[in-house]
Structure 1
């Protein structure tokens, strides 16, 4: 794009983490960006997350600082049994991650964008491969056209279902998640507790808060419960401290419940001027802790490919080669950890106890040993 040319335009559907990082990255590359969010208020709904080194490096490329709002820790490095016995303690060789509240990351990203770029209560009705988006705002339908449309509208992406295919696939598990009030149960140590068909995770967050989750096998999707906190406690109420206390101190209306779903591999992430990004492209089970990380990677690689002139085909090739094997590995992890057989459970426990630290690091670093492409600097003074 020459100095006298008009900026290329992009419409981003969805103001989640992936959509906002894409907006920051494209603006960094000199694009004019419009973000459409169907919710009346742009805010992240969720609990905690972990940012692995690959995501940290991607955010660093955009000059986005998040360490001051995160806690350095080890994800899935300390494993326990429901009685509290340690199967494995985290080791100095383990891969470090940053644990933070989703809302805090979302806030950091929003502040990198001008309010004029963000449009709420904008429900996308249709998307054309030619870059035409019809959205309903305030009861009226509007037609927008852009050089690029980025579908970052999640696992239930309307764009993917319209221009590609692929309904979410239930993975036979459901999960409760929450964040404790500051100081209510503190201090805590990061851990993942493995039961037969049940897992409970604990991660410290800033301000003496704790992110916890309970994942259990489920025979069918879309089951609802009158009291989600009580249901989570019912599964792990007799497990070791601090798991029951963390759940009990979390306000009931702040306990989230979701089924674990993903999507089958999509043969391409590009349809003319429309690209898929994040969960819309490659939703995967949370077992590897890479869901948000891969959305962040997508956004940086997309901006780099467009700014370098490599284009959308390069983005498609790079990202499918990276995420499809990862998604399959996440499904394989579901099969291992959801197996309720005694032999399978003992195999997981013995492996955790016996595996050398170097082998553990190699296994967990398989997906985080990644470096982002370079992005241009200074094209957009607001980026």
Structure 2
């Protein structure tokens, strides 16, 4: 009986766990190495568009996650005083792209992904380093405090500061500061209901979105030098920046505690990598193509990466050049689009902001559903299908 192919996944986040589940379904023996002491993620919420939900169908998780969709009515873009610049509708989005947009807590998604792996597949408190990416005739090697592992395939899902990326491509410039920082918080929804919205100001942005469990997810961004921190606490900083904006923003800030607020500078990969693989090692998610969050596609693209990698990873014969060919052009284009959107969202010039808002309002009146068109070619993506003659389903 042939020995099972072994895959080692470095990183137990969304992309790493999806890749592990997809590879497991293809017959790989999978080990996930997660540096943290538990899989409980650091973060707030994540949005999954129809493209990622179709990818999750590959591992049998799509319908479970679709059932958590909370946005049912209208939403859109507002000014800090509350005027609507553009409207979107959940039903129109679902009809256009073949499914809902689902916003859920990262912990919920992580739990759903981990449940699709066999017992013992995930090792927490297990930092790992790539010792050898492997090649023709030799396995890849990964070192851990508990010893060395050899693998027919290593999947590096170790995030925006990926050590594996630096090992594979030491001459690549890495990430750059995107020019803005973000704040995120999840808390019980205060007071009456609200229409989901993103609010664009001068060099600042706020978003408020409902979660299925009755809580809300709020996020904010502001153009600021890298490495900054509030002189007191980050909730107080949000009050200074957004406390005079329209309802329900002041109510949300009043209900928040300083410890509820997470702050992170945003970095992205401006110069695309030459490939997403080397030898028997593949990069995915932020390790391969970190992007600004302005399209909400960072986690979605990691999920896409995972199922496409598994599609090209037949046991004993992973085709990593095909994975690079499928993923590098798409993610490069989406990253560049996210950078352009960030420049538009976070304009600081008063004249530019006035022109932006007037143009958005006029275009929205003339062409309802304008905001949705920006996701054509992104949210309508579908995972690859293996030939039916092989007797295999989607992977």
Relative to the length of structure 2, the TM-score reads: 0.88
Which residue does 2:68 correspond to in 1? 69
SS of equivalent to 1:66:
helix
SS of equivalent to 1:368:
coil
Q: Structure 2 matches for 1:261-276, cutoff 5 A?
A: 261-264=267-270, 265-276=272-283
Cα distance in 1, alignment partners of residues 73 and 308 from structure 2: 26
Instruction: Say if 1:38 and 1:123, in contact at 8 Å, map to a contact too.
Output: yes
Instruction: Say if 1:94 and 1:357, in contact at 8 Å, map to a contact too.
Output: no
Q: Output one character per residue of 1:88-122: Cα deviation in whole Å (capped at 9) or x when no partner.
A: 22245345411111111111111111230010111
1:135 corresponds to 2:144: yes
Change (3 A) 1:150 1:185: farther
Instruction: Say if 1:28 and 1:376, in contact at 8 Å, map to a contact too.
Output: no
1:150 corresponds to 2:155: yes
Instruction: Say if 1:73 and 1:98, in contact at 8 Å, map to a contact too.
Output: no
Which residue does 1:297 correspond to in 2? 304
Instruction: Say if 2:80 and 2:200, in contact at 8 Å, map to a contact too.
Output: yes
Q: Output one character per residue of 1:190-238: Cα deviation in whole Å (capped at 9) or x when no partner.
A: 1000100000001100221000011000123354654111111110001
Q: How far off is 1:292 after superposition?
A: 0.3
1:370 corresponds to 2:370: no
Which residue does 1:202 correspond to in 2? 208
Which residue does 1:311 correspond to in 2? 319
Instruction: Say if 1:26 and 1:303, in contact at 8 Å, map to a contact too.
Output: yes
Change (3 A) 1:177 1:17: same
Cα distance in 2, alignment partners of residues 289 and 208 from structure 1: 21
SS of equivalent to 1:206:
coil
Q: How far off is 1:310 after superposition?
A: 7.0
Cα distance in 1, alignment partners of residues 31 and 224 from structure 2: 39
Cα distance in 2, alignment partners of residues 155 and 74 from structure 1: 34
1:47 corresponds to 2:44: yes
Cα distance in 2, alignment partners of residues 153 and 15 from structure 1: 8
1:246 to 226, 240, 252: 252
Which residue does 2:174 correspond to in 1? 167
SS of equivalent to 2:149:
strand
1:85 corresponds to 2:87: no
Moved more, 368-377 or 16-25: 368-377
Q: How far off is 1:262 after superposition?
A: 0.8
Unaligned segments of structure 1, at least 5 residues? none
Instruction: Say if 1:37 and 1:122, in contact at 8 Å, map to a contact too.
Output: yes
Moved more, 185-194 or 89-98: 89-98
Q: How far off is 1:332 after superposition?
A: 1.1
Cα distance in 1, alignment partners of residues 110 and 229 from structure 2: 29
Cα distance in 2, alignment partners of residues 34 and 61 from structure 1: 19
Which residue does 2:349 correspond to in 1? 341
Moved more, 357-366 or 168-177: 357-366
Q: How far off is 1:127 after superposition?
A: 3.2
Aligned residues: 371
SS of equivalent to 2:344:
helix
Which residue does 1:22 correspond to in 2? 19
Cα distance in 2, alignment partners of residues 59 and 115 from structure 1: 20
SS of equivalent to 1:123:
coil
Q: Structure 2 matches for 1:225-244, cutoff 5 A?
A: 225-244=231-250
Cα distance in 2, alignment partners of residues 66 and 240 from structure 1: 31
Which residue does 2:115 correspond to in 1? 111
Change (3 A) 1:88 1:40: same
Q: Output one character per residue of 1:292-312: Cα deviation in whole Å (capped at 9) or x when no partner.
A: 000000000011111396711
Q: How far off is 1:245 after superposition?
A: 1.5
Q: How far off is 1:360 after superposition?
A: 3.5
Q: How far off is 1:186 after superposition?
A: 4.3
Q: Output one character per residue of 1:322-356: Cα deviation in whole Å (capped at 9) or x when no partner.
A: 10011111111122222211222122212321221
